[in-house]
Structure 1
Amino acid sequence: MNWGFKNDRFFFKANSIVINHFDANIYRGKMPADDLSKKYLYNHLLRNIKFPLEIDTLQVLKSKLVYEEEKDFSKGPGVLNFDKFNLQATNIKSGFGLKKTDDVKIKVNCIFMKTSPLDVDWSFNVLDKKDSFHIQGVISNFDVAAIERFSKPYMNASFTGVFNKYRFNFYGNDDAVKGNASLDYDDLKVKLYKKKNPEKVAKLKSVIVNLVVKNDSKDKVKNADVELKRIQEKSFYNFLWRSIAESLKKILI
């Protein structure tokens, strides 16, 4: 690492940063009211750092990430697990003093919800004032029952079935996202629960929704186009999950 001050301006530069066996647990309690201020994308956040920052390569190896989100204390948090988490990011720079720079490129591979390989490629340019980005990924052999701890508290629903392969490819910016996704899957079934008594199954609603949902892709890949506006007070990750959810809704219903 090389850091210090030049003409009273702080600077930080590193050829390589490697983090091994990082263990992060991120908890978000949603009991307080949401902060409705604008949430900026990473292009903007890096572009507006007020000092020279340069990291040629950042690697996170053999790590673990757990995200928990809780609406109230009665149901317990929804949990998403990312194990054997490996990340490589190149050309991380602030926009300070730059007129031209290469894209930030980020590659992630991990095991999602203990069972399913997940690979993601993500790129954006710090100096692009539209805050454009491209993100694509694939998840394989995903048993949807694994997300019950997240889907039941927040959607009043649980699922069974297997996503053999789900792919997404999205291009977006600070305003909107466009792209497409594909999925082949088997034996999808949905179970809904009563809002006032979430431990009891809403049998009639469950029957109706399973009549609407296409429970099998019949060994064919099903495709959907996605176009979605960004909610400015929500994060990039909310934007990504909403885009994925929109594609699944179009494919399955």
Structure 2
Amino acid sequence: MTKPLKITLITLCALLVLSIVGYFVANAIVSSKVENFLKTELPENLSVDYESLDVSIWSGNVLMVQPKILNKGSHTSKTNIEVELDTILVDGFGLWSYLINDKINVKTVQLRSPKLIYNHNSAIPKDEYKSSSKEELKQDIKVDRFNIQDAEIIIKDVETDSLLFQAERLTINVMAVAIDNASVKKRIPFNYDGYNISYSDLFYSMGEYENLKIASANITQDEAVFKEMKIYTKYSKQKFDNMIAIERDHFDVSITSLVLEGQKFGYEKDSIFYFKSPKITLENPEMHIYRNKLIADDLTRKKLYSRMLRELKFDLTLSAINLKNATIVYSEKVNADMGAGQLSFTKMNADIKNISNTYGESEKTTLDIDAIFMVQTPLKVKWEFVVNNVNDAFVFRVDLGKLPAADLNAFSQPNLKVNLEGELLQTYATVSGDANTSRVDMKANYEDFKVEILDGEGEKKNTILSAIANLFIAKNSDRASDGFREGNKEGIERDHTKSIFNFLWLSIKSGLASVLTGDGKINK
């Protein structure tokens, strides 16, 4: 071996040994700095413990095993947030980019099996949860993929130890995350290219009386699918009635599937929140509503839907909403000594357009509905209004098919103490109104219509009152099978303390009274 070759080999070996030693020394230095930062540089109310920490500057990996993160409030000594994880992995840290370009580039940040417990304390000022965005970032940050895998989130109320929120098997992927000095000052403090989120067994306490449950969800930037949704009153009807001082609906809503297509959200000019979707589909929604009218009325002024949309504090654009095979059952208790009267709408399909406060002044919101009313009667409804019309003008059209009057007794007997006989063969009604008054035009083809007024207990027929009432009612619309009796009423005043549905009922009831009492005309 020549002397120059020998010197070269010795030099290469020395460099290799130095590189290996330097690698382990550098790893040890970086690990020490990370450990020192976690021990001394974090805020006093934040602590991080872990089983082990492994740093590889060669591959740009940092692996923390079984970390436990605790956050205690400055106003109380109790733990606000507790997070336990299997591992935190930072993979593919770009050392060259960090040293040369002063930028942090990471391929993957992964949080495996985190369990987060948040103890909500209403006594803690909201400012304590806010982070300052005035400080500038020292480096821009880019993460190719941020991943949370198989997480569980639990939120409890400190005062009552009751569950406020829970989600299991939560997985989140956010792609191409970028954070810089411009983004951190925005309401959404980072930019991203795409995301997907999935979870199961979500529970959310919506307030004092209602809960929300979702069996599973899968959300991407292109579509959001929620399965087996349920919104329901927490308490039985009897307990609920004993709890409330003014009337409030007791309800149970279930939806087999809710699908939002192409949903987009964010802040317009970093100011006004917006949400939009070109199409939303609800499969098999079922709603059971119960109201006890023996409890004191809620006398707050109610807004019509057009005004509700117009006065939203954010921009909403839902181009189309489709209800497929829906069911609505409404029960109302009026008399203490009788059960609740009931109205039902089944096999309902609805095509709803332009639920929005972002369209121009001429764009109409429309609802086209087909359903079965009560037992067997086909019902068609077309409802339209313009959100930007400050008078809240609307038109509500009804096409009601063959209705045995006795089918209405499930509602009229317990609530009105009236039984109905006969048959409505075909009924048309148009209600034109605004925020204050309405006009109704109605025509009906019916046979052998009679009313039976019941006694005070609602059990037996009051013969005298029934006979008097039937004196004022035209028994048949016309002797001809295709004859219609018409009726109309205008200047029907709205009760502003009641909903739009009460207003529609008052209008239709006035039209029906006009038809039956014979102050309309016969159209052959």
TM-score computed with the length of structure 2 as normaliser: 0.47
Secondary structure of 2:486's partner? strand
Structure 2, gaps ≥5 residues long: 1-262, 518-524
Q: Does 1:146 align with 2:407?
A: yes
1:240 aligns with 2:501: no
Name the counterpart of 1:43.
Answer: 306
1:99, CA displacement in angstroms? Answer: 5.3
Q: Which of 128, 148, 161 is residue 422 of structure 2 equivalent to? A: 161
28-37 or 181-190: bigger deviation? 28-37
What CA distance in whole angstroms lies between the structure 1 residues aligned with 2:448 and 2:325? 33
Runs of at least 5 residues in structure 1 that lack an aligned partner in the other structure: none
Work out the percentage of aligned pairs sharing the same amino acid. Answer: 29
Q: Find out whether 1:205 has 2:469 as its counterpart.
A: no
Tell me the alpha carbon deviations over residues 154-175 of structure 1, each in whole angstroms, 9 at most, x when there is no partner.
2111011110111011211011
Q: What are the equivalent positions in structure 2 for 1:57-96 lying under 5 Å apart?
A: 57-94=320-357
Cα distance per residue 1:75-114 (max 9 Å; x no partner): 111100101011111111025xx65351101101100002
How many residues align? The count is: 250
- Find the counterpart in structure 2 of residue 114 from structure 1: 375
Superposed, 1:160-199 pairs within 5 Å as: 160-195=421-456, 197-199=457-459
Q: CA RMSD in A?
A: 1.4
Moved over 4 A (4+): none
The AA in structure 2 aligned to 1:114 is V
Q: Does 1:5 align with 2:267?
A: yes
Give the match's secondary structure for 2:273: strand
Secondary structure, aligned partner of 2:328:
strand
Amino acid aligned to 1:211:
L
Measured after TM superposition, the shift of residue 120 of structure 1 is: 0.6
Q: Is the 8 A contact 1:29 1:72 kept in 2?
A: no
The structural deviation recorded for 1:74 is: 2.9
Shift of 1:192: 0.8
Deviations 1:142-200 (A, max 9, x none): 111001111011211101111011101121101111231101100112111112x2212
CA shift, 1:232, in A, is 1.3
Letter of the 1:106 counterpart = L
Question: Taking structure 1 as reference, are residues 120 and 77 closer, same or farther at Cα in structure 2, changes over 3 Å only?
Answer: same
1:73 Cα deviation from its structure 2 partner: 4.8
Residue 198 of structure 1 aligns with an amino acid whose one-letter code is G
Show the counterpart of 2:484.
221
Contact 2:440–2:510 at 8 Å: present in 1 too? Answer: no
| Contact 1:15 1:57 (C-alpha < 8 Å) held by counterparts | yes
- State the distance in 2 between where 1:56 and 1:11 align: 14
**1:1-40 → structure 2 map (5 Å cutoff):** 1-6=263-268, 7-40=270-303
Q: Which has the larger radius of gyration?
A: 2
**Helix, strand or coil at the partner of 2:512:** helix
Letter in 2 for 1:5: Y
Structure 2 counterpart of 1:137: 398
Asked whether the 8 Å contact 2:335–2:414 carries over to 1, the reply is: no
Higher relative contact order (CA 8 A, sep 6+): 1
